[in-house]
Amino acid sequence: MGTNQVRPPDTLGDAIRRGFGLRCPLCGVGKLFSGLVRMESRCHCCGFRYERGPGYFLGSTYINYGLTTLLTTWTYIVCRFVLGIEQRWLIPALVGFCLVFPILFFRYARSLWLSLDCYFDREGAMEGLAEEGQEGVKKTF
């Protein structure tokens, strides 16, 4: 893995793989999180700054919300109309899912948001690398 080139994901598959692996989108090696929810500010391996602007990760809520909605709707349709499960069982279970899933998926939504952004905006992603060393350990929050 140490011979990996530092550049944005070449394919959508690479972007999704790095996203689900919670790894740096540019080198695929550095970890995004140092704890359960604590995010690193930069990649330890290549120096890429993860938070590309103030409120940058707000966009990850779209991924989280979208996937939660999609899974809930799909599960409801299959369970209610294909399997014939009664609503009195289905609704509480799905409400529970809607509360728990976004929390469990939080890290992956952030990671996917970052890796997909680097895939679609390759030049912008490399700017996050170029500024390495200029700002030191400046925090944006």
Query: Is 58 in contact with 113 (CB distance < 8 Å)?
Result: no
User: Using the rule CB under 5 A, which residue among 15, 22, 32, 43 binds Zn ion?
Assistant: 43
**129 belongs to the binding site for Zn ion (CB under 5 A):** no
24 or 63: CB nearest Zn ion: 24
How near is the Cβ of 16 to Zn ion at its closest, in Å? 17
**30 belongs to the binding site for Zn ion (CB under 5 A):** yes
Query: Is 101 in contact with 93 (CB distance < 8 Å)?
Result: no
**46 belongs to the binding site for Zn ion (CB under 5 A):** yes
Q: CA-to-CA distance for 128 and 137, rounded, in angstroms?
A: 14
59 or 132: CB nearest Zn ion: 132
How near is the Cβ of 125 to Zn ion at its closest, in Å? 11
Q: CA-to-CA distance for 115 and 113, rounded, in angstroms?
A: 6
Exposure string over 122-133, b if 16+ CB within 10 A, otherwise e:
eeebeebbeeee
Contacting Zn ion within 48-107 (CB under 5 A): 48
In terms of Cα–Cα distance, which of 116, 113, 101 is closest to 70?
Answer: 101
Q: Which residues bind Zn ion (CB under 5 A)?
A: 24, 26-27, 30, 43, 45-46, 48
